[in-house]
């Protein structure tokens, strides 16, 4: 354990890693390419064993895998080396370990407790990128809704997706979020209204309140008031409960239940898991609804570790993959980018965060989560009937539903492998929702047709790196739905009075 021996070991390990990196950088891609292209001799046998799918897999995929494997192994080796150094230091200084570890653990627990009591401290500690602390600062727990946005909140939130992981530099603009005294994205809470909207972030997202769907709809309803009770991350269980608790008391004439094609079926299952106390993951705001303090601690630590490890990987990958010249390994998510070409526009990248459910409509309607959805929509109709409200259902399609057919062959291989299936499945869920609406006698409004017409004209209705609508998207939706609401006048007794 002499200091000189330790120094020699460290120098030897560093030198060995440097030599391996140099050899790989100089010959790694050449060897892989040679083996990949070998059709005869010994290397052909090696290629068949190591690259069994090479007839269907491009060479670049093997280069990406090799680079990623080398970097991952190097980082693990460095981690083992770091642990070894710590162990050596611990053996040499047992007293420091005996006293230091409890102190460090105590300080960490105290810090976590303080962050629980005062979440804004996360910003000072640069922990605001951890979703757990981000949500702690803008959400409050709710025994039925899991969480709600804080009342009278005024904060800037990044709604647009981060293009960086895809190797694209694009500025992100923070949305100006203001909530009413009930925690919804309205300029003020309304004691009475004409229309109530219930749904998720597809309805309440926007750079400003004026650019949200609710505001656009109100503008085109010419004087009628709209209360937007949508909450980002909520699902059908929360939609119906929000109507019961916050909507019916406003005595609306019309209630619109928005079904987000992208994730509402998954949100049904997610809510059931939360209600049973056994969710697979606490994400998207559900972190705030954790009742068990130990589970809260585990979630905070897990998300913090995930962020730190991802940042370490990004730093290492930036240097390593740049050195070997493998951009695809540096930005693996770029494989999923779709290149979109619209009339009158240059091709531009778009990531389809939410994909189409490829199950046929009849298969969807036999799924367990669908049976829950049927019950919730039936309850929605009953609530409306009991309070003299006309119900309506709004179908909000995914970006893939609208733009998949406009993607070009220059798209990433990941997306291209899915494109045909996604285009073929575009009507599956919409057909099932339309059938449900017809069975229950609820007016059905779909945004698919006006969105497809706008896309054909060259309009971009979705943020390229998130699921949310652009200002043009909310405007097209607002105009179309306002027209459909006008068509319902015959069923809305006294709606104009």
Q: Are residues 339 and 209 in the same domain?
A: yes
Q: Are residues 83 and 197 in the same domain?
A: no
Q: Tell me if 44 is assigned to some domain.
A: yes
Per-residue pLDDT of the chain (497 residues; tens, 9 = 90+): 455 666 677 777 777 877 887 777 777 777 877 777 776 566 666 666 677 666 667 776 777 777 777 777 776 777 777 777 666 666 666 666 566 667 666 766 777 777 777 777 777 667 777 888 888 888 999 988 999 999 998 888 888 888 888 888 887 788 899 999 999 999 888 889 999 999 999 999 999 999 999 999 999 998 899 999 999 999 999 999 999 999 999 999 999 999 999 999 999 999 998 888 766 667 788 888 877 788 888 888 888 888 777 777 777 766 666 666 666 667 778 889 999 999 999 999 999 999 898 899 889 898 999 999 999 999 999 999 999 999 999 999 999 999 999 999 999 999 999 999 999 999 999 999 999 999 999 999 999 999 999 999 999 999 999 889 999 999 999 999 999 988 776 555 544 44
Which of 251, 287, 239, 357 lies closest to 130, judged by CA?
A: 287
Q: Point out the domain boundary residue: 42, 74, 92.
A: 92
Calpha distance 361→371 (Å, rounded): 13
Give the count of domains, the chain. 2
Calpha distance 329→63 (Å, rounded): 8
Indicate the angle between helix axes 293-324 and 131-138, nearest 10 degrees. Answer: 130
Q: Are residues 85 and 131 in the same domain?
A: no
Residue 276 belongs to a domain with what CATH number? 3.40.50.1110
Q: Point out the domain boundary residue: 47, 77, 92.
A: 92
Q: Tell me if 154 is assigned to some domain.
A: yes
Q: Are residues 337 and 235 in the same domain?
A: yes
Q: Tell me if 385 is assigned to some domain.
A: yes
Q: Are residues 235 and 381 in the same domain?
A: yes
Q: Are residues 205 and 84 in the same domain?
A: no
Q: Tell me if 319 is assigned to some domain.
A: no
Q: Which two tokens stand for residue 114?
A: 């303080």
Q: Tell me the pTM.
A: 0.81
Q: Tell me if 418 is assigned to some domain.
A: yes
Q: Are residues 246 and 394 in the same domain?
A: yes
Strand order through the sheet with 254-260: 226-228, 195-198, 254-260, 390-396, 444-446
Q: Provide the β-strand partners of residue 157.
A: 175
Q: Are residues 254 and 392 in the same domain?
A: yes
Q: Are residues 486 and 337 in the same domain?
A: yes
Which of 181, 141, 179, 142 lies closest to 157, judged by CA?
A: 179
Q: Are residues 70 and 212 in the same domain?
A: no
Q: Tell me if 115 is assigned to some domain.
A: no
Q: Point out the domain boundary residue: 43, 67, 92.
A: 92
Q: Tell me if 308 is assigned to some domain.
A: no
Which of 81, 82, 67 lies closest to 317, judged by CA?
A: 67
Q: Are residues 69 and 11 in the same domain?
A: yes
Which of 254, 257, 252, 255 lies closest to 236, judged by CA?
A: 257
Q: Provide the β-strand partners of residue 349.
A: 339
Calpha distance 164→314 (Å, rounded): 11
Q: Which domain holds residue 11?
A: 3-92
Position of tokens 């709606």?
A: 495
Q: What is the bridge-based pairing of β-strands 146-149 and 139-142?
A: antiparallel
Q: Are residues 209 and 340 in the same domain?
A: yes
Segment holding 391, helix H or strand E: strand 390-396
Q: Tell me if 64 is assigned to some domain.
A: yes
Q: How far is CA 20 from CA 17, 100, 297, in A?
A: 5, 37, 40
């Amino acid at each position: 354990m002499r200091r000189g021996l330790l120094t020699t070991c460290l120098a030897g390990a560093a030198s060995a890693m440097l030599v391996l990196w140099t050899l790989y950088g100089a010959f790694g891609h050449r060897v892989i390419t040679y083996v990949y292209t070998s059709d005869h001799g010994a290397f052909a046998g090696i290629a068949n064993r190591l690259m069994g799918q090479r007839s269907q897999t491009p060479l670049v995929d093997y280069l990406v895998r090799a680079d990623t494997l080398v970097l991952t192994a190097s980082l693990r080796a460095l981690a083992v080396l770091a642990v070894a150094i710590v162990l050596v230091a611990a053996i040499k200084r047992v007293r420091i370990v005996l006293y230091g570890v409890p102190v460090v653990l105590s300080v960490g627990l105290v810090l976590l407790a303080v962050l629980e009591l005062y979440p804004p401290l996360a910003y000072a500690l640069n922990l605001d990128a951890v979703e757990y602390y981000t949500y702690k600062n803008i959400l409050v727990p709710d025994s039925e809704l899991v969480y709600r946005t804080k009342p009278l909140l005024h904060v800037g939130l990044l709604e647009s997706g981060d293009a960086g992981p895809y190797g694209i530099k694009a500025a992100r603009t923070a949305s100006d979020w203001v909530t009413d005294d009930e925690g919804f994205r309205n300029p003020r809470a309304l004691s009475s209204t004409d229309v109530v909207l219930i749904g998720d972030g597809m309805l309440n997202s926007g750079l400003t309140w004026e650019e949200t769907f609710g505001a656009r709809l109100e503008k085109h309803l010419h004087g009628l008031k709209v209360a937007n009770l949508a909450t980002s991350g909520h699902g059908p269980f929360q939609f119906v409960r929000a109507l019961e608790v916050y909507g019916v008391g406003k005595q609306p004439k019309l209630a619109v239940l928005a079904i987000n094609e992208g994730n509402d079926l998954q949100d049904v299952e997610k809510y059931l898991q939360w209600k049973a106390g056994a969710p697979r993951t606490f994400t998207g705001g559900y972190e705030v609804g954790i009742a068990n303090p130990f589970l809260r601690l585990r979630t905070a630590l897990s998300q913090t570790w995930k962020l730190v490890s991802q940042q370490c990987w990004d730093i290492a990958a930036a240097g390593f993959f740049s050195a070997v010249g493998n951009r695809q390994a540096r930005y693996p998510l770029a494989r999923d980018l779709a290149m979109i070409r619209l009339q009158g526009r240059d091709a531009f990248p778009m990531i389809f965060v939410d994909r189409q459910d490829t199950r046929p409509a009849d298969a969807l309607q036999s799924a367990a989560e669908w049976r829950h959805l049927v019950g919730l929509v039936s309850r929605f109709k009953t609530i409306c009937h009991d309070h003299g409200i006309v119900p309506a259902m709004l179908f909000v399609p995914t970006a893939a539903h609208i733009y998949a057919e406009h993607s070009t062959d220059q798209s990433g291989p990941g997306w291209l492998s899915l494109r045909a299936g996604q285009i073929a499945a575009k009507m599956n869920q919409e057909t099932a929702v339309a059938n449900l609406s017809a069975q229950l006698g609820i007016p059905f409004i779909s945004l698919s047709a006006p969105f497809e017409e706008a896309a054909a004209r060259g309009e971009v209705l979705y943020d390229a790196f998130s699921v949310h609508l652009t200002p043009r998207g909310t405007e097209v939706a607002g105009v179309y739905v306002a027209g459909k609401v006008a068509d319902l006048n015959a069923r809305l007794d006294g709606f104009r009075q």
